[in-house]
Amino acid sequence: MLPLTIAEAARHIATRAFSPVELTRAVLDRIENLDPQLNAYIRTTPDLALRQARAAEAEIAAGHYRGPLHGIPFALKDIFSTAGIPTTGHSRTAIDHVPAEDAHTVARLHKGGAVLLGKLATHEFAHGGPSFDLPWPPARNPWNTAHVTGGSSSGSGAAVAAGLALGAMGSDTGGSIRNPAALCGIAGLKPTYGLLSRRGVWTNSFSYDHAGPMAWTVEDCALMLGVLAGHDPLDPASADRPVPEYRTALTRDIRGLRIGVLRDLYERDVPVPAVARQAMEAALEVLRGLGAVLEDVTIRPAADYYAVKVLTAEAELYAVHEQALRERPGEFGEDFLGRSLAAILIRAEDTIQAQRERRVMLAEFAPLYRRYDALVTAGPGPAPRLESWRTIHFWQKGSLTTPFNVSGGPALAQCVGFTPEGLPLAMQLVGRPFDDATVLRIGHAYEQATPWRTRRPALTPGAMPLPLPPVPDPTSAEIGPTERDRIAVVARRAGLLLNERQFELLCAAAPYVEQMAGRLRRPRAFTEEPASIFRFGTSWDLDVVQNRRVGQDNPRSSR
């Protein structure tokens, strides 16, 4: 029976070829046999899954078929709140956190009749990793368990690729859906910002967080998006717009569509290996063969987008976790600390300049949206080995994905082939804001014209997981004693009590924070406003005030 796509399983369920209960039992058995070598799941919920599957079976038998997700087993990155089920963020600091209600997206999946299998591994609070010093081990890549999955939706990528869930939810702040989708050889969509509610999802960055679907095929992502999308009046960033029928957009016909090729991004700016460039050239030829009109186009250097995103997002992340970082920094993993602590070195003016620059960047995308129906570029990959990761890489390496978090429109990662060693390769399709349907249309047409969805990871039941590599030593900072003294003063003023190793992580990031801030320092007119704007209060704002009055706004504040 397994593995199956969502579309295949939905057809079998609708025709009574097998029941949701049979499908759910089969997936649970597969998880039991294969997940010990992958660590994709933090916890499974078999009793709940079987109850939901039986309810779906009874409803379908009674003629109450809810749609293509009815009876379909799925799983959640463990930052999505689940009523009565721990939601930990893969962190020791929230290990006992049990939400009282589901996230908005989770509630919509349940309304569609989907069956929850459990909670998936992530990088700590969707930021940092792979980490080897957390309560649960990092997820492994099903194509080769010695390699990373990409993050932070690491368990989601591994589970879908291995057939341990037919679909999964991920989140994307700088590429955290598309990175694991690319490295694990699946499809992952970062929808337009505001298309899906963020309510009930652990915040990484208010300005850049996107929730989105991850599945084996583009069609499956479209099926999930059709259930997930919709206005949430309790999320201040939620867009109140009509939701199209995404599945009907999958016509396979892309003749005449104009696609801008961001070749400089992956050839010179953030260069990918030769094997990935070759796969991209072959993918572009497929798109041309399908009738699309391709033309090379350039955008700014990736480092500009990265600086804008990091200087804003790290400050927002620090604000979310400030109390815990002050009171118990040792409960966080070192990779999270190596990113988040550096926010104390970001000046207020640096964050505002980043927001002002983002508004300019958004304006720069407007003519591209007018000229092209979509943009295409390479995705990350192939996946590196687990032991190669160092925390400092977050600050040192460029990003193929972050420009499209800054722009806010939809971005899809999908498989375009494999290395000779069998590791997946990927491309990204990027669209106009709220034109997610066109991105899915192009991705589906490419997928139907290529053979990559017929190949799955070869996993042996009962295989033992590889030993974890040792926790790497923090990189020594190349800064002098005067700068170290200054950083120590800033840390004390922030109320941080750091041990020597934690302080070294902070110092190692310091030069890169300054470099990023320096990229954005230039003369500006006083009329240049930031991308963040004020708007008058909503029902959500009133709820926040009411929750604060009864001490409910921070589930970790009492710990």
Measured in whole angstroms, the distance separating CA 20 from the mean position of its chain's CA atoms is 28
pLDDT band at residue 492 using 50, 70 and 90 as cut-offs = very high
The answer, yes or no, to whether residue 543 has pLDDT greater than 70, is no
pLDDT band at residue 536 using 50, 70 and 90 as cut-offs = low
- Mean pLDDT to the nearest integer, 307-334: 97
**CA 45 vs CA 27, 58, 115, 117, 201: distances in Å:** 12, 20, 10, 5, 19
**Token code pair at residue 144:** 């080769």
The set of residues, in sequence order, having a beta carbon less than 8 Å from that of 482 and lying 6+ positions away, is none
Model pLDDT, residue 554: 47
Q: Residue 152 catalytic?
A: yes
Model pLDDT, residue 533: 65
- Neighbouring-strand partners of residue 295: 260
Give φ, ψ of 249 to 5 degrees.
-75, -15
Query: Which position among 19, 91, 131, 152 bears the catalytic label?
Result: 152
Identify the H or E element spanning 188: strand 187-190
Query: What is the pTM (predicted TM-score) of this model?
Result: 0.95
User: At 132, which amino acid appears?
Assistant: F
Identify the H or E element spanning 310: helix 302-327
**Alpha-carbon distance 121 to 389, whole Å?**
17
Q: In the chain, what percentage of residues exceed pLDDT 90?
A: 90
The DSSP code for 253 is -
Kindly report which listed range (278-282, 356-360, 549-553) carries the lowest average pLDDT score: 549-553
- Mean pLDDT to the nearest integer, 419-424: 98
pLDDT band at residue 470 using 50, 70 and 90 as cut-offs = confident
Model pLDDT, residue 558: 33
**Token code pair at residue 126:** 């969707």
384: preceding bond cis by omega (within 30 degrees): no
- Mean pLDDT to the nearest integer, 103-111: 98
Model pLDDT, residue 464: 80
Model pLDDT, residue 485: 96
Burial label for 307, CB within 10 Å (0-12, 13-18, 19+), is: buried
User: At 386, which amino acid appears?
Assistant: L
- Mean pLDDT to the nearest integer, 282-291: 98
Query: Which position among 19, 176, 197, 207 bears the catalytic label?
Result: 176
**Alpha-carbon distance 491 to 349, whole Å?**
18
- Mean pLDDT to the nearest integer, 26-40: 97
**Alpha-carbon distance 148 to 266, whole Å?**
21
The answer, yes or no, to whether residue 546 has pLDDT greater than 80, is no
Kindly report which listed range (63-67, 340-344, 476-480, 490-494) carries the lowest average pLDDT score: 476-480
Model pLDDT, residue 550: 42
**Residue whose C-alpha is closest to residue 149's, from 457, 475, 446, 473:** 457
Q: Which pLDDT tens digit goes with each residue over 334-384?
A: 999 999 999 999 999 999 999 999 999 999 999 999 999 999 999 999 999
- Mean pLDDT to the nearest integer, 147-161: 97
**Residue whose C-alpha is closest to residue 221's, from 156, 125, 279, 144:** 156
Lookup result for tokens 């977050």: 394
Q: Which pLDDT tens digit goes with each residue over 390-405?
A: 999 999 988 999 999 9
Q: Residue 119 catalytic?
A: no
Q: Would strands 374-378 and 258-261 be described as parallel, antiparallel, or unpaired?
A: parallel
- Mean pLDDT to the nearest integer, 413-439: 98
Mean pLDDT of the chain: 94
**Token code pair at residue 387:** 């032991």
User: At 94, which amino acid appears?
Assistant: A
Q: Which pLDDT tens digit goes with each residue over 289-301?
A: 999 999 999 999 9
Model pLDDT, residue 467: 82
Kindly report which listed range (235-239, 290-294, 455-459, 470-474) carries the lowest average pLDDT score: 470-474
**Alpha-carbon distance 284 to 415, whole Å?**
13
Query: Left if phi > 0, otherwise alpha if psi is -120 to 50, otherwise beta: which for 84?
Result: left
pLDDT band at residue 500 using 50, 70 and 90 as cut-offs = very high
Q: In the chain, what percentage of residues exceed pLDDT 70?
A: 94
Model pLDDT, residue 463: 85
Model pLDDT, residue 111: 98
Three-state DSSP at 214 gives strand
**Alpha-carbon distance 206 to 40, whole Å?**
26
**Alpha-carbon distance 211 to 80, whole Å?**
9
Query: Which position among 19, 77, 205, 207 bears the catalytic label?
Result: 77
Model pLDDT, residue 538: 53
- Mean pLDDT to the nearest integer, 132-145: 96
Residues 540, 541, 542, 543, CA torsion sign: positive
The answer, yes or no, to whether residue 279 has pLDDT greater than 60, is yes
If one compares 553 and 26, the residue with the highest pLDDT of the two is: 26
- Mean pLDDT to the nearest integer, 510-526: 95
Model pLDDT, residue 537: 56
The DSSP code for 144 is -
- Mean pLDDT to the nearest integer, 114-136: 95
**Alpha-carbon distance 27 to 159, whole Å?**
11
